[in-house]
Amino acid sequence: MSVQQRLNASPAPARRRKSWRLGRHSVIALPYGWLLLFFILPFAFVLKISLAEADMAIPPYTALVEWLDETTLTIQLTFSKYQLLLEDRLYLSAYLNSLKIAAISTVFCLLIGFPIALFIVSRPPHARFFWLAMVMLPFWTSMLLRVYAWIGILQSNGLLNTFLMDVGIINQPLVLLHTDLAVYLGIVYSYLPFMVLPLYAALEKLDPALLEASADLGARPSVSFFTVTLPLAVPGIVAGCLLVFVPAVGEFVIPALLGAPDTLMIGRVLWDEFFANRDWPMASAVAIVMLIVLVAPVMLVRARETATRDEA
Amino acid sequence: MEHRSAGAGPGGSAAEPFVRIEGITKRFGATVAVNRIDLDIQRSELFCLLGGSGSGKSTLLRMLAGFEQPSEGRILIDGQDMTGVPAYERPVNMMFQSYALFPHMSVSDNVAYGLRRGGVARAEIRKRVADMLDMVKMGDYAQRKPHQLSGGQRQRVALARALVRQPKLLLLDEPLGALDKKLREETQFELMKIQSQLGTTFIVVTHDQDEAMTLASRMGVMQDGRLVQVGGPRDLYEFPVNRFVARFIGAVNLFEAVLIEDEPGHARLRCAETGGVFYVSHGVSGTPGQTMHLALRPEKINLTRDKPDGEENVAPGVIDEIAYLGNLSVYQVRLDTGRLIHVTLPNLDRHEGEAFEIGNRVFCSWGPASAVVLPA
């Protein structure tokens, strides 16, 4: 009500400006509200659980804030889970292994995705849709189904081994399933569209006259690629790598189905802590650290982007 | 206006032509974009290819640059056959219509790009880039990115980038197309100055006849993939070979007329559209009774209130419309036959006093050397 009164008291132009500012603020508030509701709040919950102890109760962790009696309020915070995370080599190697697998998969996605995106862009415009659809189409079936299909291909009496033995290249089936190789195959296969689409978007904006200009100025096609195409595709490369790398780090289904039992990835550790050990605080701590490990580089990239844009 | 007279015409000079285009044809599927073109261009010439959109002028330029391969024929540059030579190995540079500046590089990196590909020493590159940027008056903008420049500044950078490798031949695709009228006029003269300073052979593609007339020492008019006429600006304006060229370059009144008398020194044609007889002071090598076309430029017609002497080269009419353009006025005259013709007269007097007004009865008249007889 007081706001209303103040608005009425102020002269007309100022009021218009003020209400306009109010409208502008509410527009900005929308994404922030979204972020608060679906990111900050869940994050706070998980953070809270990670600072508790596991307990045989429902929910299975100790309360953070508790009334001891009528007058005493106790707050119990324990960083023991984080301490354990640092001390137990298992967690550290799970993190490192996840980052390694995600990084290598991202590199392969880029190496395979870039030629695909270049190929699609080089098609006449009406044919591009067809090729984009070919990239997207597998995506419309369940991911679980597609990963199971890889089991059928890779297992010792699967399609690939049968084919290789029929052709006579090998005598004994190769051990392909439940190896790191299978995990890489699965991740690269599953996340390739996330790489191709942003690359396509970046390359499609590239003016063909620029490549003619570089050729005209004496650059061979390979030199043109490294001095013109690649630098101008950087936004697409960064976007594609983030879209592949970030979910690949936390990937659970692919290593669980295609990986060896000892393929240690943080997604599996998280699953085990939650469902096998029922140690919710530990699982939460694992999740929080993973988030920090993943969000920090993204924020760095964003900050750099904004800085260069401001500079320009 | 002064025009350099390099290159007396196709095959006219004894010297080997610098660029020789021999029977070039380019097909895209079923369409013929460029149709059997032969053209010689002399060293240090500023040659303009003039034509409407789809006339094949840009395709011809792209074949010179090496972006398109001719379906038939061959191109020789400085005596060297360019067949199969890729764009990056040709002694040719191009200035693109869109300028095609590299958006991720500064102005100086854009200009240095061609030199870095050519194995030029670092210090040498720096010096040549600086010199070139000074020449196009962009020295102060060396560290800017292309998107921080105005259209005219980008045009200069594009020119500097194309010239810094000291190409034997510079191709310019609508070099002034993206500039506004005033800037375009200034830049035209700058281009000519740079060209004569460096002595580089320029081939300019344009659809703008004024631009071509201003820039070119020689020009070629293209229509439907063919080179219709090649010559100096004056040749094309005063002696067009057909109605297309007459219409394309400058304004013109075209008439159909029947040849009634053809002598070596003169000819007479009866024209139903003017209701009179054209007397032209040159023979036309036709047969009497043959239908021919006459081109008469608006500025070559005079308007008088009184009937001039003689019965030929005159047509009475009424002023239908007047457009005052400052330096001259364009009059639309409806002849007694119903035909509208355009007449332009310079505004010599600042006062309206004796000026013609709409509805005035006038006589249009012209001299025996004013009209051109066109066979087609």
Q: What is the pLDDT of residue A18?
A: 64
Using an 8 Å Cβ cutoff, are B19 and B76 in contact? yes
Sign for the CA dihedral angle at A163, A164, A169, A171 comes to negative
Does residue A214 belong to the interface with chain B, where contact is any CB pair within 8 Å?
Answer: yes
Q: What is the pLDDT of residue A140?
A: 85
Exposed e or buried b for every residue in B184-199, given b needs 16+ CB within 10 A? Answer: beebbeebbebbeeee
* Average pLDDT of the segment spanning B293-311: 92
Q: How confident is the model at residue B285 (pLDDT cuts 50, 70, 90)?
A: confident
Is residue B36 in some structural domain?
yes
Is residue B319 in some structural domain?
yes
Q: Domain end: B182, B214, B247, which one?
A: B247
Do the chains contact at B117 and A223, CB–CB below 8 Å?
Answer: yes
Q: What is the pLDDT of residue B15?
A: 66
Is residue B11 in some structural domain?
no
Does residue A66 belong to the interface with chain B, where contact is any CB pair within 8 Å?
Answer: no
Q: Cβ neighbours of residue B154 under 8 Å, at least 6 residues apart?
A: B99, B101, B146
Best A216, A222, A232, A309 member to test B by mutation, with max B CBs in 10 Å, is A216
| Contacting residues of A for B88, CB less than 8 Å apart | 215-220
Exposed e or buried b for every residue in B48-78, given b needs 16+ CB within 10 A? Answer: bbbbeeebbbbbbbbbbbbbbebeebebbbe
Q: What span, in angstroms and rounded, lies between the C-alpha atoms of B230 and B224?
A: 15
Q: Give the pLDDT confidence of B88-115 residue by residue, as tens digits.
A: 999 999 999 999 999 999 999 999 999 9
Q: Are residues B26 and B129 in the same domain?
A: yes
Is residue B149 in some structural domain?
yes
What does the angle CA A82 – CA A88 – CA A94 come to, to the nearest 5 degrees? 90
Is residue B6 in some structural domain?
no
Do the chains contact at A214 and B66, CB–CB below 8 Å?
Answer: no
Q: H helices within chain B, ranges in order?
A: 57-65, 107-117, 122-135, 151-163, 181-198, 209-215, 233-238, 243-248
Report ipTM for this prediction: 0.83
At residue B287, does pLDDT exceed 80? Answer: yes
* Residues lower than pLDDT 50 in chain A: 1-10
Here the CATH number for the domain that contains residue B121 is 3.40.50.300
Q: Give the pLDDT confidence of B110-153 residue by residue, as tens digits.
A: 999 999 998 889 999 999 999 999 988 899 999 999 999 998 89
Mean pLDDT, rounded, of chain B: 90
Cα distances (angstroms) measured from residue A17 to each of A8, A21, A24, A117, A258: 13, 6, 10, 48, 60
Q: Domain end: B195, B214, B247, which one?
A: B247
Does residue A231 belong to the interface with chain B, where contact is any CB pair within 8 Å?
Answer: yes
Q: What span, in angstroms and rounded, lies between the C-alpha atoms of B40 and B21?
A: 6
% chain B with pLDDT above 90:
71
SS3 B283: coil
Q: What is the pLDDT of residue A311?
A: 60
Q: Domain end: B201, B219, B247, which one?
A: B247
Q: Are residues B238 and B327 in the same domain?
A: no
Do the chains contact at A212 and B104, CB–CB below 8 Å?
Answer: no
Question: What chain B residue is nearest to A308 in terms of C-alpha separation?
Answer: B104
Q: Are residues B64 and B76 in the same domain?
A: yes
Question: How many other C-beta atoms can be found within 10 angstroms of the C-beta atom of residue B167?
Answer: 21
Q: What is the pLDDT of residue A17?
A: 63
Q: Which two tokens stand for residue A205?
A: 């904006």
Do the chains contact at A218 and B145, CB–CB below 8 Å?
Answer: no
Which fold is adopted by the domain A88-278? MetI-like fold (1.10.3720)
Domain ranges within chain A, ordered by starting residue:
88-278
SS3 B323: strand
Does residue A228 belong to the interface with chain B, where contact is any CB pair within 8 Å?
Answer: yes
Sign for the CA dihedral angle at B50, B55, B58, B64 comes to negative
Residues for chain A: how many in total?
A: 312
SS3 B270: strand
Best A206, A211, A217 member to test B by mutation, with max B CBs in 10 Å, is A217
Domain total for chain B? 2
Q: What is the pLDDT of residue A15?
A: 56
Closest CA to B178 of B200, B201, B157: B157
Q: Which two tokens stand for residue B156?
A: 């200069």
The residue segments making up the domain with residue B352 are 251-374
Q: How confident is the model at residue B264 (pLDDT cuts 50, 70, 90)?
A: confident
Q: Are residues B187 and B321 in the same domain?
A: no
Q: Are residues B237 and B275 in the same domain?
A: no
Here the CATH number for the domain that contains residue B364 is 2.40.50.140
Q: What is the pLDDT of residue B66?
A: 95
Using an 8 Å Cβ cutoff, are B267 and B224 in contact? no
Q: Are residues B238 and B273 in the same domain?
A: no
Q: Are residues B184 and B98 in the same domain?
A: yes
Q: Give the pLDDT confidence of B144-193 residue by residue, as tens digits.
A: 999 999 988 999 999 999 999 999 899 999 988 878 888 888 888 888 98
At residue B353, does pLDDT exceed 80? Answer: no
Q: Are residues B174 and B106 in the same domain?
A: yes
Do the chains contact at B102 and A220, CB–CB below 8 Å?
Answer: no
Is residue B12 in some structural domain?
no
Cα torsion for A93, A94, A99, A105, to the nearest 10°?
A: 120
Q: H helices within A155-276, ranges in order?
A: 159-167, 180-204, 208-216, 221-224, 230-232, 234-249, 253-258, 266-271
Is residue B67 in some structural domain?
yes
At residue B6, does pLDDT exceed 50? Answer: no
* A 95-154: CB under 8 A from B: none
Q: Are residues B277 and B208 in the same domain?
A: no
- Its pTM stands at 0.80
Is residue B65 in some structural domain?
yes
| Contacting residues of A for B92, CB less than 8 Å apart | 216
| Contacting residues of A for B157, CB less than 8 Å apart | none
Q: Which of B87, B100, B165 sits opposite A210 (nearest CB)?
A: B100
| Contacting residues of B for A220, CB less than 8 Å apart | 88
At residue B8, does pLDDT exceed 60? Answer: no
Q: What is the pLDDT of residue A31?
A: 84
* Average pLDDT of the segment spanning B196-209: 92
Q: Are residues B368 and B290 in the same domain?
A: yes
> Which residue matches tokens 């799970």?
A94
Best B96, B106, B159, B171 member to test A by mutation, with max A CBs in 10 Å, is B96
Sign for the CA dihedral angle at A154, A157, A160, A164 comes to positive
Bridge-based pairing state of the strands B302-304 and B291-296: unpaired
* Average pLDDT of the segment spanning B341-361: 85
